[in-house]
A = this chain, B = another copy of it.
């Protein structure tokens, strides 16, 4: 089998961890498989580079910022290649540009446009294990990055273009849990989860897999497994349809996200172009908008509120101020100190009333719900950050124990 293995920051965090990665790759090869690696930057390297950049400039140029951050993966890819070579394995590091990973000409959160599989295939045919830097690519001769967690996306994209048999995501947790075990002691690991559920969980801040990675895995039918590089136990497979779907719980997991900010535009004249522009502008500037709620239209005005990560709220606010003349809103409000809790489960589709049950549980626990967002397989509520742990524990107990 051709297996793409992605090793995250903690999995290559030290020389010892890199040696352990090389041992694991050796075992994979000894089992008769071919391996292609995608690696993140070592442990806190990226944070250290971010610190350096911000010591110089609060809002550094995005092109230079990407060029800077991309060095982290270059270091770990070279070191992992050396560790493989030490074990007699032919290996070769590839940066984003060397692997022919082209992205949009956007910095900080670029999407991949194309991977030139030929150079990687050639290496594999030559018996070489390619060690690819995750998280980065090239556009118009400049280095671009895919945003944090982008190494997962690189791994899935590489697995897709190489038509790999599996894509193993190695991280510091043993799989996908019903919720964060640090918050709920009785949380348990799932053997399987569907792409759709994983997508909701990833989007909802479970931090195990990057949502774009899951999206791409679903689209290109990449068999994905999340495992720990620190242990030998089986991980969680992310598949189209988990076996035993009929018997499973209605709710698969409880996800949550801290540091959420809500921005509200009050009294916006009804004008479809204006509102579309708000979200396209935020997207162009690289700000991810999560929940969007628009008030019911009763007059010629609407109120629109949306959530962003707390760290993006200043930038989002100033973009909204720039757009005041075009949008003609009456008032602009920003509320920080929020969090989001969500229940996810493919079983919800055939089980109405789950949302109502969730609101009931939160009300019973005296948690005020500020915004609600639903899909066929999840319900999310924006609540005060101070109450998030209690809410998660309460919902896990109600739905999963």
Interface residues, chain A, with chain B CB atoms under 8 Å away: 15, 18-19, 49, 52-53, 55-57, 60-61, 63-65, 67-68, 70-71, 74-75, 77-79, 81-83, 85-86, 92-93, 95, 97-98, 141-142
Q: Are B74 and A67 in contact (CB under 8 A)?
A: yes
Q: What chain B residues lie within 8 Å of A57 (beta carbons)?
A: 82-83, 85-86
Q: Are A74 and B71 in contact (CB under 8 A)?
A: yes
Q: What chain B residues lie within 8 Å of A64 (beta carbons)?
A: 78-79, 81-82, 85, 92-93
Q: What chain B residues lie within 8 Å of A52 (beta carbons)?
A: 15, 75, 79
A71 interface neighbour in B63, B65, B71, B81, Cβ under 8 Å: B71
Q: What chain B residues lie within 8 Å of A98 (beta carbons)?
A: 141-142
A83, B57: Cα distance in complex, Å: 7
* 10 pairs from A and B in contact (CB 8 Å cutoff): A56-B79, A56-B83, A57-B86, A64-B81, A64-B92, A65-B82, A67-B93, A67-B95, A70-B74, A97-B97
Q: What chain B residues lie within 8 Å of A142 (beta carbons)?
A: 98
Q: What chain B residues lie within 8 Å of A19 (beta carbons)?
A: 56
Number of copies: 2
Nearest B residue to A85, CB-CB = B61
A49, B71: Cα distance in complex, Å: 12
Q: Are A63 and B49 in contact (CB under 8 A)?
A: no
Q: SS class of chain A's interface: helix, strand, loop or mixed?
A: helix
Q: Are A92 and B68 in contact (CB under 8 A)?
A: no
CB distance from A123 to the nearest CB of B (A): 11
Q: Are B53 and A82 in contact (CB under 8 A)?
A: yes
CB distance from A131 to the nearest CB of B (A): 9
Q: Are B141 and A56 in contact (CB under 8 A)?
A: no
A169, B49: Cα distance in complex, Å: 26
Contact A82/B61 with A56-B15, A68-B74 known, Cβ cut-off 8 Å: yes
Q: Are B79 and A75 in contact (CB under 8 A)?
A: no
Nearest B residue to A61, CB-CB = B85
CB distance from A63 to the nearest CB of B (A): 7
Q: What chain B residues lie within 8 Å of A95 (beta carbons)?
A: 67
Q: What chain B residues lie within 8 Å of A86 (beta carbons)?
A: 56-57
CB distance from A102 to the nearest CB of B (A): 15
A19, B57: Cα distance in complex, Å: 10
Q: Are B92 and A63 in contact (CB under 8 A)?
A: yes
Q: Are B83 and A75 in contact (CB under 8 A)?
A: no
A81, B95: Cα distance in complex, Å: 22
A75, B64: Cα distance in complex, Å: 9
A140, B55: Cα distance in complex, Å: 36
Q: What chain B residues lie within 8 Å of A71 (beta carbons)?
A: 71, 74-75
Q: Are B68 and A78 in contact (CB under 8 A)?
A: yes
Q: Are B93 and A56 in contact (CB under 8 A)?
A: no
Q: What chain B residues lie within 8 Å of A78 (beta carbons)?
A: 53, 64-65, 67-68
Q: Are A77 and B83 in contact (CB under 8 A)?
A: no
Contact A81/B61 with A68-B75, A75-B71 known, Cβ cut-off 8 Å: yes
A48, B19: Cα distance in complex, Å: 18
CB distance from A283 to the nearest CB of B (A): 24
Q: Are A75 and B49 in contact (CB under 8 A)?
A: yes
Q: A56-B86, A61-B81, A63-B92 are in contact. List 8 more A-B contacts (CB 8 A).
A: A15-B52, A57-B83, A63-B93, A64-B81, A67-B78, A67-B95, A68-B74, A97-B97
Contact A18/B56 with A68-B75, A71-B75 known, Cβ cut-off 8 Å: yes
Q: What chain B residues lie within 8 Å of A18 (beta carbons)?
A: 56
CB distance from A376 to the nearest CB of B (A): 44
- CB-CB nearest 7 A-B residue pairs: A68-B78, A71-B71, A15-B55, A64-B78, A67-B78, A60-B82, A64-B81
